[in-house]
Amino acid sequence: MTLVEHLVQQLGQLDIAFVRNYSGNSLIMYVNGINSWEVTNTRDYDELFTSAKIGSYADSSYGYLQGFLSNFRINKTTALYTADFIPPTRELKKV
């Protein structure tokens, strides 16, 4: 069982947000609005990607997402979350 599968079984629907903090050189994962994981990260994500895979690993031998995605977004210039937050309960607005 993967970590995400375990969390879904324990918590039901999940709100997951990843934030790359360039000034603090960190990558943060918020789960249901709470900073749940943070690591040092100096990678520059501005490099050109040849493709993006949403719902699968780059190596599909790990399988595919068994669930649903909603309100997926990528913001290049502004971090929406810089501290713990209350997850949205309806469709996201444009920023």
Full-model pTM: 0.69
Rounded to whole angstroms, how far apart are CA atoms 84 and 33? 5
Model pLDDT for residues 59-76, shown as the tens digit of each residue: 666 677 777 777 788 887
Count CA atoms closer than 13 A to 17's CA, side-chain side.
Answer: 23
Residue 34 pLDDT: 93
Model pLDDT for residues 10-61, shown as the tens digit of each residue: 777 788 888 888 788 888 999 889 999 999 988 776 665 666 677 776 666 6
Q: Is the pLDDT of residue 3 over 60?
A: yes
